[in-house]
Amino acid sequence: MGTVDPKLTRALSSKPGSEYNRRMMTIRYLRLNSGDSFPAVCDLSPFKAIVVVEEPVESQWQAAASRWLADSGCLYMMAWGEDCSSWDDSVDLANINQFDCDDIPDAKFIMTTWHDDESLPDVAWYAKVCAHHPTVEIENVVFLHIASADRQEEFEALYRDA
């Protein structure tokens, strides 16, 4: 079973004087293994998700994780790591299926990107500086880390320092 740090929510502000320093954001780190159940994150909706895949993922679990992200209020998903381009497709499909293949309302459209040729610090910078939804302001961030080793402090620092 994946672990969720007891101090799930950390209000972090960015560098002094920056736009991010004037408002509070919440960063939540979740480390899961393929097959784990998904914790509630609806309290962060809307949020950006940085999906870091460091271990193989079963396709059925990936589809379920993508539905969970879509249903929980993710509006911008960035994938990095093993087979990260498949996450772009999987979350797109989950978003389309939310609306039975009809038009997706602008405020519910999930932006998706994959970053197979970038470093993780570059993805954190992209998430913080460039990942803006066209119609909804998003302040909260969820790191979905699919791995056996916990890297919470490292990931939070990457985002904070980006």
Please classify residue 153 by burial: count the beta carbons closer than 10 Å to its beta carbon, then call 0-12 exposed, 13-18 middle and 19+ buried: exposed
- Is residue 1, in this structure, part of any structural domain at all? no
Query: Running DSSP on this structure, what letter comes out for residue 116?
Result: T
- pLDDT (tens digit per residue) in 31-62: 999 999 999 999 999 999 999 999 999 999 99
Which of the four pLDDT bands, split at 50, 70 and 90, describes residue 23?
A: low
Crossing angle between the packed helical segments 84-98 and 59-72, to the nearest 10 degrees: 50
Query: Running DSSP on this structure, what letter comes out for residue 103?
Result: P
Predicted TM-score (pTM) of this structure: 0.85
Q: Residue 149's domain is classified under what CATH number?
A: 3.90.190
Q: Which domain holds residue 129?
A: 22-161
Instruction: Determine the pLDDT at residue 12.
Output: 38
- Is residue 157, in this structure, part of any structural domain at all? yes
Q: What angle do CA 125, 114, 156 make, to 5 degrees?
A: 35
Residue 79 reports pLDDT greater than 70:
yes
- Is residue 120, in this structure, part of any structural domain at all? yes
- Is residue 10, in this structure, part of any structural domain at all? no
Chain-centre distance for alpha carbon 31: 12
Number of domains in the chain: 1
Please classify residue 64 by burial: count the beta carbons closer than 10 Å to its beta carbon, then call 0-12 exposed, 13-18 middle and 19+ buried: middle
- Is residue 92, in this structure, part of any structural domain at all? yes
Gyration radius from the chain CA atoms: 15
The average pLDDT across 138-151 equals 97
- Is residue 14, in this structure, part of any structural domain at all? no
